[in-house]
Amino acid sequence: MVLRDYSIGINAETDEMIAWRREIHKNPELSGCEYRTSNLIKNMLSEWDVKVQEFEEHFGVIGILEGQPGPCVAIRADMDALPVTEENEKPYKSINQGVMHACGHDAHVAVLLGCAKELSKRRGLIKGSVKFIFQPSEEDSPEGGARMMIRDANLKFPEVGMIFGLHVWPDLPTGTIGLRVGPMMASSVRFQVKIIGRGGHASQPHYGVDAVAMAISSISEIYQTINRKIDPMIPWTINIGKINGGERYNVIPKEVVFEGAVRAFDVKIQEQIEKIIRDVLMSITRIHGGEYNLKYNYGYPVLKNHKEPTDIVSEVGKEILGNENVFSEIAPVLASEDFSRYLECIPGSFFLLGCSSSSNGLSSKLHNSNFHLDEKSLLLGRDVLINVALRALETLST
């Protein structure tokens, strides 16, 4: 068991992981484009004599550390960034305009690299094998990178008995973790609406069909109707996060496209929201004389933690951090994660790693252009995952 005083701040090991994280943060890559990050990972794993598995159709990487004969556990990190323009003024600010690690995947990679390096020093003492899964395209809902990695048999050869993962979480302070058995993160839907009108001159609106006017009415009515049609005691959320349309200031716009996301723990709620959206679009476009097209794509399933692996995370967390710093019955969150696809295949657990420090004011919310995190959380995440993997191997061996 790796035990340490996490109040001492940054040390040599933390400093190393911070350097990795900042290098990745400075060079973010979107889903499906993680070429540089993938090469960095492969080079480091090879340096530590960890067997590397790569793929032709995507930039995912698997590291396999073989110890003594025995079972196999896996630890997963995602590595893609978001199409967000960074507003931080840090020396390691993104150099790729319009691309940013605003969801902490750079930290996840650094933590998993730390696990691989530390465990590679102990390979002779490990009772089994550990797979380090560096997954691309987690942000690419509704498909996602987990499905590609599972398709390419990364859970076999050797066969994985348990899998674990984490997500940095700015709603929790550094030095804590949050988890729960059963449903912990929501399922996702990604939808796109195309409103089709008829273009014309702004001075003659009666000859056109204004797509912007229809879009504005539709968005307003969707929000209002859903709030009145769905039980407010049921957890769900909808967000319309992107809208494009129009050609010129004095031209009646003929087409507008807007996109959004729905999160819920019950597929019936997602189906009900789809019906509401469709009914609203049909009504408003009919009144105006326009048309619509709706693509409502069901994405990641509900993330459901298995009991035995979650108990392992909770026990290890309490031993390292103290009972008071492990929230083992944290409330479910409406964020979604394609780690849920692994949990549909094998037992495992996913937990939230606190990364907020009120003393330095570095933390902000996920998917924000100012997102940052308390980097001391990296060492904590590494040590929890290392000891969870070792404890899981012991459990699978009995």
Q: Which amino acids are annotated catalytic?
A: 300, 375
How many CB atoms sit inside 10 A of residue 367's CB? 15
- Using left for φ > 0, alpha for ψ between -120 and 50, and beta otherwise, residue 303 falls in beta
How would you classify the pairing of strands 72-78 and 162-173? parallel
Cα–Cα distance, 279 to 172 (Å, whole number): 40
300: nearest Cα among 342, 260, 246, 243: 342
The token duo for 56 is 């032709």
Peptide bond into 158 cis (omega under 30): yes
Phi (first) and psi of residue 84, to 5 degrees: -125, 135
- The runs of H, that is alpha helices, within 82-232 are 105-120, 145-151, 211-229
Cα–Cα distance, 189 to 274 (Å, whole number): 10
Cα–Cα distance, 188 to 265 (Å, whole number): 9
388: nearest Cα among 331, 332, 305, 330: 305
How many CB atoms sit inside 10 A of residue 241's CB? 9
Rg (CA), the chain: 23
How many H-runs (helices) and E-runs (strands) does the chain carry?
9, 16
Phi (first) and psi of residue 289, to 5 degrees: 85, 25
